[in-house]
Structure 1
Amino acid sequence: MRTASADLLAVRTITADGSDVYLRITSSPADLEIRWYRDGDQRVSGSPVLFPAGDRSRRRIGSNFRAGTTFCLGVVGASGDAWCGVVDWNVYS
């Protein structure tokens, strides 16, 4: 399992077949909708997942990625609100 808590909008690479991607927002004053998208092509993406303000539950935002897949996160929320969280990938649960 890999975990990243810095720069949540950076490109990430899947290294194991069948990988799932989870996100847990650790701090946000506003509701956020987050989805994965293919690095360099936002037309290939997952469905937005709602993360209500203050809810620190881990949610799956994508599943069954092949090794070598690169992905980014797209975020929609209140403009200017700071937030942080943790992304886990290459996990199977």
Structure 2
Amino acid sequence: MRTASADLHAVRTITVDGSDVYLRVTASPVDLRIRWFRDGDHRVAGSPVLFPAGDRSRRLLGTNFRAGTTFCLDVVGEARQDWRGVVDWNV
């Protein structure tokens, strides 16, 4: 499992076929709707997942990614305040 908490907008690479992507928001002043998208192509993206402010539950963003897939995270909507979290992938 790969885990990252710094630079949540960075490009990440799936290395294990069939991998899932999870996110746990550790700090946000507002509710967030977050999705994954293919690096360089916002047309290929997951459905937004709601992360209520103060809720630190780990939530599934996407499943069954192929090895070699590159992805980023995107905040959907107007809530662009500073937030922190932990991304797990290749799980």
CA distance, structure 2, for counterparts of residue 88 and residue 69 of structure 1? 15
3-state SS in 2 of match to 1:29? coil
Aligned AA (1:69): T
**Aligned twin of 1:54:** 54
**Aligned twin of 1:23:** 23
Runs of 4+ residues over 3 Å off in structure 1: none
TM score, norm. by length of structure 1: 0.93
**1:1-12 mapped onto 2 (5 Å cutoff):** 1-12=1-12
CA distance, structure 2, for counterparts of residue 61 and residue 8 of structure 1? 14
**1:32-47 mapped onto 2 (5 Å cutoff):** 32-47=32-47
Q: State the shift of 1:47 in Å.
A: 0.2
**Aligned twin of 1:78:** 79
CA distance, structure 2, for counterparts of residue 10 and residue 75 of structure 1? 13
TM score, norm. by length of structure 2: 0.95
Deviations 1:34-55 (A, max 9, x none): 0000000000000000000000
How many pairs does the alignment contain?
90
CA distance, structure 2, for counterparts of residue 78 and residue 10 of structure 1? 18
Q: State the shift of 1:78 in Å.
A: 2.4
Q: Which runs of 5+ in 2 are unaligned?
A: none
3-state SS in 1 of match to 2:90? strand
